[in-house]
């Protein structure tokens, strides 16, 4: 981003906000840059190298707002609108993304709203920026703002938001797990990678003998939706913005999960394996693990390696449900 601005011969403002922040050595020399990052592992890596992070924007405005793309179109456009809202009059909105993330398409979209765009293409990526000249099309930004607002999944009471997992439907794998979730789960229970709370909602409705349910989720926006979705339950619920791969703070009688197996766009089986390992380490003796996974994912071996006794409860064309127990 610095190189981009330097090559264009544009002065770089001292203060900048970075939406979707990720650390990079080139940013180290920036006098005052703050990041916003809803994903816990990325937020942690941003802070680990000494950068400041904002959680809520309140009224802050910056002369430069940088944007990296989100996972979905709606999310990225909503982030453009968020950037617009945080820009000082006359400020610059800059974005950078790989061509494979739709850089050309997003550049055109931004130009629709701003009317001016300066673009650089390099390393199979595009960096582009627009300057607020007082003539930006606020109607377009309004449309994008609306894309980022909380909404309901149709025919349900579940609140979701663009960018979070399964933001317009109930995940069919989670639904299969729901169909097989036993009512006898009891005591302290954890939902790992809890998303907007579909499995937690079901656990709380179906299992009367639960004392405490802890949701662990990396995406702060999903957790905010889960808070709304579970508001009607009277049980003790803990909401943890947490990277599960770093371990859990407690131990549990039962753990339920639909573990992630993507990092960004890429398949990452190790992420799912890390979830299994942490789950296994966090079960009390006699504790139960129940999970759903795509059939081709090699989680049985990971359960064996963790010393859990496991069995397959069911499978369909796409998913399998595995149940495991910590016997020792
Ligand atoms: C397959 S989704 C399941 C979501 C939810 N349980 C459901 O059934 O709809 C996996 C979830 O794990 C979350 N996740 C990904 N990496 C994580 C990590 N390192 N720690 C905690 N949660 C993570 C994702 O944000 C996503 O919400």
User: What pLDDT, in 10s, does the model give residues 16-29?
Assistant: 999 999 999 999 99
Residues 291 and 171 in one domain: yes
Instruction: Grade residue 263 by pLDDT with cuts at 50, 70 and 90.
Output: low
Instruction: Grade residue 261 by pLDDT with cuts at 50, 70 and 90.
Output: confident
- Predicted TM-score (pTM) of the model is 0.94
Q: Is the CB of 260 under 6 A from ligand 1?
A: yes
Domain boundary among 104, 130, 147: 147
| CATH code of 67's domain | 3.40.50.150
Domain boundary among 111, 131, 147: 147
Residues 168 and 294 in one domain: yes
Residues 163 and 71 in one domain: no
Domain boundary among 115, 147, 179: 147
Residues 35 and 56 in one domain: yes
Looking at residue 3, its pLDDT comes to 40
Q: Is the CB of 219 under 6 A from ligand 1?
A: yes
Residues 108 and 11 in one domain: yes
Q: Is the CB of 222 under 6 A from ligand 1?
A: yes
Instruction: Grade residue 56 by pLDDT with cuts at 50, 70 and 90.
Output: confident
- Whether the per-residue pLDDT at 147 is higher than 80: the answer is yes
The count of domains in the chain is 2
Distance CA(161)–CA(191), nearest Å, equals: 20
257, 291 contact by CB (below 8 A): yes
> What spacing in Å lies between the alpha carbon of 250 and ligand 1's midpoint?
19
Residues 160 and 309 in one domain: yes
Instruction: Grade residue 120 by pLDDT with cuts at 50, 70 and 90.
Output: very high
Task: Report, as an integer, the average pLDDT of 75-82.
Answer: 97
- Ligand 1 atom at minimal distance to the Cα of residue 177: 8
Instruction: Grade residue 266 by pLDDT with cuts at 50, 70 and 90.
Output: low
Residues 142 and 205 in one domain: no
Task: Report, as an integer, the average pLDDT of 96-113.
Answer: 96
Q: 168 lies in which domain range?
A: 152-325
> What spacing in Å lies between the alpha carbon of 195 and ligand 1's midpoint?
5
Residues 272 and 224 in one domain: yes
Distance CA(128)–CA(93), nearest Å, equals: 8
Distance CA(291)–CA(314), nearest Å, equals: 11
> What spacing in Å lies between the alpha carbon of 24 and ligand 1's midpoint?
25
């Amino acid at each position: 981003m610095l190189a981009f601005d330097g090559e264009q011969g544009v002065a770089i403002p001292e203060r900048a906000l970075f939406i979707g922040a990720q650390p990079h050595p080139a940013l180290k020399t920036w006098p005052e840059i703050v990041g916003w990052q809803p994903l816990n592992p990325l937020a942690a890596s941003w802070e680990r190298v000494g950068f400041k992070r904002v959680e809520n924007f309140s009224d802050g405005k910056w002369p430069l707002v940088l944007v990296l793309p989100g996972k979905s179109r709606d999310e990225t456009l909503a982030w453009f609108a968020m950037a617009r809202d945080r820009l000082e009059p006359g400020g610059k909105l800059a974005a950078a993304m790989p061509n494979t993330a739709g850089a050309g398409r997003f550049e055109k979209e931004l130009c629709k709203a701003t009317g001016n765009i300066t673009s650089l293409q390099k390393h199979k990526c595009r960096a582009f920026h627009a300057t607020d000249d007082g003539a930006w099309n606020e109607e377009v930004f309004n449309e994008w703002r609306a894309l980022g607002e909380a909404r309901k999944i149709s025919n349900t009471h579940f609140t979701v938001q663009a960018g979070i997992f399964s933001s317009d439907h109930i995940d069919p794998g989670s639904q299969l797990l729901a169909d097989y979730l036993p009512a006898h789960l009891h005591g302290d229970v954890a939902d790992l990678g809890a998303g907007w709370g579909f499995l937690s909602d079901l656990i709380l409705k179906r299992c009367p003998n639960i004392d405490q349910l802890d949701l662990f989720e990396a995406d702060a926006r999903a957790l905010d939706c889960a808070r709304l979705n579970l508001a009607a339950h009277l049980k003790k619920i803990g909401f943890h913005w947490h990277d599960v791969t770093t371990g859990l703070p407690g131990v549990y009688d039962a753990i339920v999960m639909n573990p992630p197996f993507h990092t960004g766009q890429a398949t990452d089986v190790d992420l799912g394996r890390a979830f299994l390992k942490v789950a296994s380490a966090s079960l009390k003796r006699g504790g139960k693990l129940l999970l759903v996974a795509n059939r081709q994912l090699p989680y049985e071996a990971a359960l064996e390696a963790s010393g859990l006794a496991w069995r397959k409860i069911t499978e369909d064309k796409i998913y399998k449900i595995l149940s495991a127990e910590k016997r020792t």
